[in-house]
Amino acid sequence: MGYHIVDPDNLEPEPDRPSEMRYVSEAAGMEQMGLRVYDVAPGEEIPLSGLHYHETQEEAFYVLEGELSVETPDRVYRVDQGEFFVADAESPHRAHNDSEARTKVIGMGAPPISDGHVYER
């Protein structure tokens, strides 16, 4: 058995990201799910690759504060505080902040693999 308390404020942000991202899953030694906390300034986005999809990974974003916009090939979803946005595997999406205030988001992905691909329209 194992238990962990992780304060994301005590984690260093990952370098070279389009928004501030802290890996909770790595700090806790999680192996079956990726868990991240994002602090997204106005105009910033979460992914490195823009509109993308994952071959296997399912991904979910939970909005802690503010509003998150998620672009898909068909429309842009507005995800309010207290709501989840869930993208199935092979479903193109791009999460970003197009509001005038900061947005705080928990991002989860399982399995925790790097299987993202740029989506070409």
> Measuring CA to CA, which residue among 80, 86, 44 is closest to residue 61?
86
- Report the predicted TM-score, pTM, of the whole model to 2 decimal places: 0.94
> How far is 20 from 44, CA to CA, in rounded Å?
9
pLDDT band at 85 (very low <50, low <70, confident <90, very high): very high
- Partners of 52 in the β-ladder: 93, 118
pLDDT at 82 over 80: yes
DSSP 119: P
Determine the Cα angle at 59 with ends 53 and 64, to 5°. Answer: 130
Please give the average per-residue pLDDT across 87-98, as a whole number: 97
Q: Where are the domains of the chain?
A: 15-92
